[in-house]
A and B are shown apart, each in its own frame.
Chain A
Amino acid sequence: MNQLNNAFTLFLSLLVEAIPFLLLGVLFSGLLLFFVDERKLIALMPKHPLLGALMGSLVGFLFPVCECGNVPVARRLLLQGAPTPVAVGFLLAAPTINPVVFWSTWTAFRDQPEIVFWRIGLSLAIATIIGWVFSVQTDLRPFLQPAIARSLVEPRTDPAKAANDSTHLLQSGTFLLGQPGKVIRMDTAGLAAMAAPSITTKPLADRLQLLLENTVQEIRELGSVLVLGSAIAAIIQVFVPREVILGLGQGPISSILSMMLLGGVVSICSTVDSFFALSFASTFTSGALLAFLVFGPMIDLKGVGLMLSIFKPRAIFYMFGLVSLLTFLFTLFINLHVS
């Protein structure tokens, strides 16, 4: 009973600490998505594959979205003609390279600031490398879901059609529109709003309405994943014998592999995953914590589910392979030579 109460206290403490950051991430990303036109952003992207991948990775700083928000944005970037390295770099880096994640990681690892910088640095490096690798595939269409590939093929000469397409994609992307709140939007204003070519050109009132819906929806989705993730962390902490955890957590290789596995399964949002990692800070190697913090936001169960809405499984498999290998090698290097 005592153990159960401990687990519950731990669970609550994770939630109490993490939910403010979750809220911040959701509100921030919602605001930017509704008030920044990413098409203008794409025009600024360099054409060089390596630079493009780097810029794509860095652009996440403008879109503080975690791994649920980045997939719809990456999809829109692709559809609006962003070069492949930009879109792939963004897809992989955006969940980590952003101010909210930086702050929450700093909060959690205030005693080990190197973790924060390693996290940012490694994520940036891995995303850029993979973005660069993907630039070899000049025609990305074989990697994409047929629906998306087809719309890439369509000539963009007819602006009305293009706008129309992207509108539908926005809808099925659902990040912006979601399942429209049945109770909330039954008026035609909502319909009219959805037919508008870009979200940023809609009237302010509609945008605010969409922002509210988007916020509630995101809190619901991300919040429930956070609840489950925190529960898993608390249960492992309290109920798995310390010797088992230490046995896994102190080996330079086993610790990294187990944390990568955990990062892939737990799917906790990147704005708050540092608190999850924190609960393992005393038992796992720094490299393993980093592996969790770098790998989790790029590849996890929830993220793969979302990525399947853009890519064919083959492409996701390549990304998974590259991300895993790079994360493993980098963090192993840290375990063996740095910490």
Chain B
Amino acid sequence: MSVNSTSRRRKRRQPWGSGSPPAWLDAMALSLWGILFLKYWLNGKLNILIHPNYMWLTIAAGIVLLGISGLLLFKVIQKLKLQPASSSMGTSAMGTSAQHVTLFPPIWSSSLLVAIAILGFVIEPRAFASQTAIQRGLTDSLTMTRAKAQSFRSAARPEERTLIDWVRTLNAYPEPDAYTGQKVKVQGFVTYPPASELPDQYFFISRFVITCCAADVYPVGIPVKLSQSRSAYKPDTWLEVTGQMITETLGGRRQLTIQASTLKPIPEPKNPYDY
């Protein structure tokens, strides 16, 4: 008994008072998130957010969320049918006996979930672009800690390698001279690193690699050498670059570089990341 009364006392001290949010608010939060997840799946935005391996988890979660909110709504309606006169605020006898020790009042939590889901419907997620690539440290080497390719086959013909294949190959055998003269055909977006690092006739052809979700995407890129100024190719333009590999000394470092022969603008792929 004493425990119970203590908890009541504690509860009364809580500034936000008691009360769980009405069930319809919870049901709304759950169903909004469920619909949002399924919407991202159907309109392909899930590609921007997470690695394809985990999409089924999100889709399943969307369905489960809708299911739970359906059950909740079913209960609410059942209750209304049983007791049409009583207001939805009617409290059970135990309404005060139990209170989560929570960081926030439950009604805030529900409202927060609803509000964020609505934001999700209003604001479209967008793939990261060159600015993020620079901020996250664009390199031609994979970040030390990750993506050590466990099994990696590089395409037999160099011109069939994707940008990531090139970067992986380079990580496996970093001597740029080894690739001199090999044909290249890669797709990616244009990034201008800080001027101090690259002269005007170079830019990076770059791409993001994703392992789990957009939180861990990291950029990789290879410098491209043009015959004139790079100003014709604005940052974030998607290009297919054809040419051959050369070695250049850029920023005091010998680097594998693409000597471009043709640069063809392409539409941004539906799935902008590479794996």
Contact = CB atoms under 8 A, between A and B. Distances in A.
Contact of A212 (B24, B72, B91, B127): B72
B71 interface: yes
Q: Which of B54, B60, B109, B110 has the most CB atoms of chain A within a 10 A radius of its CB? A: B109
Contacts of A165: 1, 3
A15 B94 CA distance: 34
A19 B148 CA distance: 28
A14 B95 contact: no
A243 B131 CA distance: 15
A63 B269 CA distance: 43
Contact of B109 (A3, A223, A281): A223
Contacts of B228: none
Contacts of A242: 135-137
B214 A9 contact: yes
Nearest to B116: A227
Interface in A137-163: 145-148, 150-151
B224 interface: no
B204 interface: no
A217 B20 contact: yes
B103 A216 contact: no
A281 B95 CA distance: 44
B12 interface: no
B92 A182 contact: yes
A6 interface: yes
A39 interface: no
Interface centre among A13, A148, A275 (most CB of B within 10 A): A13
A301 B7 contact: no
B136 A223 contact: no
B76 interface: yes
A111 B148 contact: yes
Interface in B195-221: 211-216, 218
Given A220-B110, A221-B106, A282-B136, A178 B100 contact: yes
A12 to B, nearest CB: 5
Question: Which applies to chain A's interface (DSSP): helix, strand, loop or mixed?
Answer: helix
Contacts, number: 254
Nearest to B107: A220
A184 interface: yes
B162 to A, nearest CB: 18
B76 A184 contact: yes
A278 interface: yes
Interface string B173-203: 0000000000000000000000000000000
A180 interface: yes
A221 B7 CA distance: 19
A8 interface: yes
A77 interface: no
Given A148-B3, A168-B3, A224 B216 contact: no
Interface of B: 1-4, 6-8, 18-24, 26, 29-30, 33, 37, 40, 46, 48-50, 54, 57-58, 60-61, 64-65, 68, 71-72, 75-76, 79, 82-83, 86, 88-95, 97-104, 106, 108-110, 112-113, 116, 119-120, 123, 125-129, 131-132, 135-137, 143, 145-148, 211-216, 218
